[in-house]
Chains A and B, each alone.
Chain A
């Protein structure tokens, strides 16, 4: 088994050292304090007391949470018709081509793509330019929650489509045929048969969308204008202005805990009922 250890250890060591340990340090640091502008290891609950008593924190937290939930739901809803068509109603070659077109931009700079929306949405931008040339007034679109939402979609829309596509492709086509055969119309079939069968892929897609939106900094800051701050903006501000690492760590930890709860909940929702099905 010596060979197995030689092959398996390198990556494990690297990830433990540069992933697990830093996160552990982050957790520990929430209990440290800053004395005379110096960071010192400690075991104090002061950071937590301070954070959890600030109404500002709760406002920001719930804003971030609601933005992410809305982004996830809206994104999933917009993506679904596209994924459905790609899964069932196009030729394999078309599906491959579109998949290629979805994967590729996902790996290009999100920062650059989000910035590009500024060109389109700004008061002197494309959309307003078009509107004014048609004689209509300018519509301020940047620095609004809508712009933030568009930014989130730019971040994860391709991913949602792909994950939903994978989930839908795994549904047994015969189920759909059987539903039609038994008299269910196309819409009813989608709601009663396809969506429950593709549950895992759909929940996975929505969960990833949530995670990405929840942790994103660029969209609320650049496109949303930063006036309605999210937790990510809060962390960056805490770091940039006050260098208050323990406080920033505490905020980050609340985000991690939230994400873990959401992930477990999503996994439970996705795979939970499968167990009861087998007995039934």
Chain B
């Protein structure tokens, strides 16, 4: 077969796959501006009514605020816990370290449906049952592995001698972390905060189980979906998508640029 045709088919297939992945997103964004109530062709007209409907709905705004609060809290705590565990893994070696890592990193591999159920059962017995605090606690469980992975990968790029050099020059262990480890890992810490916030921002299953009357935005979306389909969902969905997309895109760019500089 002609070489050029082969290349064309190959590139075309990749574009097809990307198209499959992005077409629901693009459709959503497009229809959020469609003045017509029903998502169908032909296009009736460009309008921002659904966006204003979203911004005028207090329940949606409340849910959005809750999601932001939880997300910010999760970003801070997950990044912190992920950093401590990453440094622990970087610096020390213990015989049961593999078990430690398994326990700590496993949560995202368990279906959130099951985790949500288990967490509701447990949290309600300690008084965090239907609360945002419960959602916060649960999200830290599933988000910290991401922070750990990102930070650990960055630390792996560091020369171990740097920490020893700091000690040799008079820095105590804690000072060494402050002066050497943190500055070196800073891009990873930033990326971790962004990614964990994005994961928490979009998580709906565990939140559905655990949040009570104070819903997070994804839970609100889930409930809206189970009710009548309204074009407001398109607007909310677009906003939610753009926020997560931005967070993760910035995180990736940060990691990419840092790796470029290190080389």
Chain A residues packing against B (C-beta within 8 Å):
1, 3-4, 7-8, 10-12, 14-16, 18-23, 25-26, 29, 78-79, 81-82, 85-86, 89-90, 96, 98, 100-105, 107-120, 122, 124-126, 128-130, 133, 153-154, 157-158, 161, 208, 211-212, 214-217, 222, 232, 235-236, 239, 245, 248-249, 252, 255-256, 259
Q: A107-B202, A109-B240 are in contact. Are A119 and B28 (CB under 8 A)?
A: yes
Nearest residue in B to A226 (C-beta to C-beta)?
A: B226
Q: A102 to B18: give the CA distance in the assembly, Å.
A: 8
Q: A109 to B209: give the CA distance in the assembly, Å.
A: 17
Whether B10 pairs with A85 at a CB distance below 8 angstroms is yes
Whether B117 pairs with A98 at a CB distance below 8 angstroms is no
Whether A107 pairs with B10 at a CB distance below 8 angstroms is no
Whether B18 pairs with A101 at a CB distance below 8 angstroms is yes
Whether A157 pairs with B112 at a CB distance below 8 angstroms is no
Whether B244 pairs with A102 at a CB distance below 8 angstroms is no
Whether A19 pairs with B198 at a CB distance below 8 angstroms is no
Whether A107 pairs with B204 at a CB distance below 8 angstroms is no
Q: A166 to B39: give the CA distance in the assembly, Å.
A: 38
CB contacts (< 8 Å) of A133 on chain B: these are 41-42
CB contacts (< 8 Å) of B229 on chain A: these are 118
* B138 interface residue per 8 A CB criterion: yes
Q: A22 to B120: give the CA distance in the assembly, Å.
A: 8
Whether A8 pairs with B114 at a CB distance below 8 angstroms is no
Q: A112-B241, A115-B225 are in contact. Are A211 and B39 (CB under 8 A)?
A: no
CB contacts (< 8 Å) of B46 on chain A: these are none
- CB-contacts of B202-231 with A (<8 A): 202, 204-205, 209, 218, 221-222, 225, 229
Whether A216 pairs with B27 at a CB distance below 8 angstroms is no
CB contacts (< 8 Å) of B27 on chain A: these are 116, 119-120, 126
Chain A nearest Cβ from B250, distance in angstroms: 10
Q: A103 to B195: give the CA distance in the assembly, Å.
A: 11
CB contacts (< 8 Å) of A222 on chain B: these are 225
Interface size class of B (residues with CB under 8 A): 35 or more
Nearest residue in A to B109 (C-beta to C-beta)?
A: A211
What does DSSP make chain A's interface, helix, strand, loop or mixed? helix
Q: A129-B41, A232-B113 are in contact. Are A105 and B21 (CB under 8 A)?
A: yes
Q: A130-B41, A252-B117 are in contact. Are A119 and B234 (CB under 8 A)?
A: yes
Q: A86 to B22: give the CA distance in the assembly, Å.
A: 18
Nearest residue in A to B174 (C-beta to C-beta)?
A: A3
Q: Which of A154, A215, A239 contacts B111 (CB 8 A)?
A: A215
* B87 interface residue per 8 A CB criterion: yes
Whether B39 pairs with A85 at a CB distance below 8 angstroms is no
* B140 interface residue per 8 A CB criterion: yes
Taking each of B85, B91, B236, which has the highest tally of chain A beta carbons within 10 Å of its own beta carbon?
Answer: B85
What does DSSP make chain B's interface, helix, strand, loop or mixed? helix
Chain A nearest Cβ from B140, distance in angstroms: 7
Chain B nearest Cβ from A78, distance in angstroms: 7
Whether B88 pairs with A4 at a CB distance below 8 angstroms is yes
Q: A19 to B140: give the CA distance in the assembly, Å.
A: 10
Q: Which of A96, A109, A118, A161 contacts B256 (CB 8 A)?
A: A96
Whether A8 pairs with B88 at a CB distance below 8 angstroms is yes
Binary interface encoding of chain B residues 8-19 relative to chain A, with 1 for a CB under 8 A from any of its CBs, else 0? 001101100110
* B167 interface residue per 8 A CB criterion: no
CB contacts (< 8 Å) of A236 on chain B: these are 113
Q: A15-B104, A111-B218, A116-B28 are in contact. Are A255 and B118 (CB under 8 A)?
A: no
Chain B nearest Cβ from A138, distance in angstroms: 11
Q: Which of B107, B140, B221 contacts A111 (CB 8 A)?
A: B221
* B179 interface residue per 8 A CB criterion: no
CB contacts (< 8 Å) of B20 on chain A: these are 153, 157
Q: A90 to B201: give the CA distance in the assembly, Å.
A: 34
A-B contact pairs, 20 of them (CB 8 A): A10-B84, A12-B103, A23-B110, A23-B118, A85-B11, A86-B14, A109-B240, A111-B218, A111-B222, A115-B237, A116-B27, A129-B41, A214-B111, A217-B205, A235-B114, A235-B117, A239-B117, A249-B117, A249-B118, A252-B117
Whether B173 pairs with A14 at a CB distance below 8 angstroms is no
CB contacts (< 8 Å) of A114 on chain B: these are 24
Nearest residue in A to B201 (C-beta to C-beta)?
A: A109
Q: Which of A7, A29, A125 contacts B84 (CB 8 A)?
A: A7
Nearest residue in B to A128 (C-beta to C-beta)?
A: B40
Chain B nearest Cβ from A182, distance in angstroms: 22
Q: A15-B107, A215-B114 are in contact. Are A104 and B24 (CB under 8 A)?
A: no
Nearest residue in A to B24 (C-beta to C-beta)?
A: A116
CB contacts (< 8 Å) of B85 on chain A: these are 7-8, 10-12
Whether B237 pairs with A217 at a CB distance below 8 angstroms is no
Chain A nearest Cβ from B71, distance in angstroms: 13
Whether A109 pairs with B237 at a CB distance below 8 angstroms is yes
Nearest residue in A to B87 (C-beta to C-beta)?
A: A7
- CB-contacts of B164-199 with A (<8 A): 173, 195, 198-199
